[in-house]
Amino acid sequence: MFCSCEDGKDIIEKCSDLFKIHPSYGWVLFWIELTSEKGFTHVNKFALDINYCPFCGKKLECDVK
C-alpha cells in the first residue's frame, strides 16, 4: 500500500497510475508531458523515486527494495 493517510488513499484511488512500484527504485511518481515542436508531438516521460508520502511525510514501505 502507498500510504495509510487519507490523502494517500485518496490519490491512489483517483489517480492509480500516478504512483507505482518500480523493481529497482521502489515507489515512483510517473508523469508524461506532451510538447509540440515543428509540427510534431513529442512524448516526454518523467519519473521521480520517492521515499516519503508527499501528503503526511510518513516513510513509504516497499517490499521491492
DSSP 60: P
Q: What phi-psi label fits residue 54: left (phi over 0), alpha (psi between -120 and 50 degrees) or beta?
A: alpha
Q: Which three cell numbers stand for residue 25?
A: 527504485
Residue type, 23: P
Bridge partners of residue 63, in order along the sequence: none
65 band by pLDDT with thresholds 50, 70 and 90? very low
- 14-48 confidence digits (pLDDT tens): 998 899 998 888 999 999 999 999 999 999 999 99
For the entire predicted model, the pTM comes to 0.71
Cα 65 to its chain centre, rounded Å, is 16
pLDDT (0 to 100) of residue 63: 72
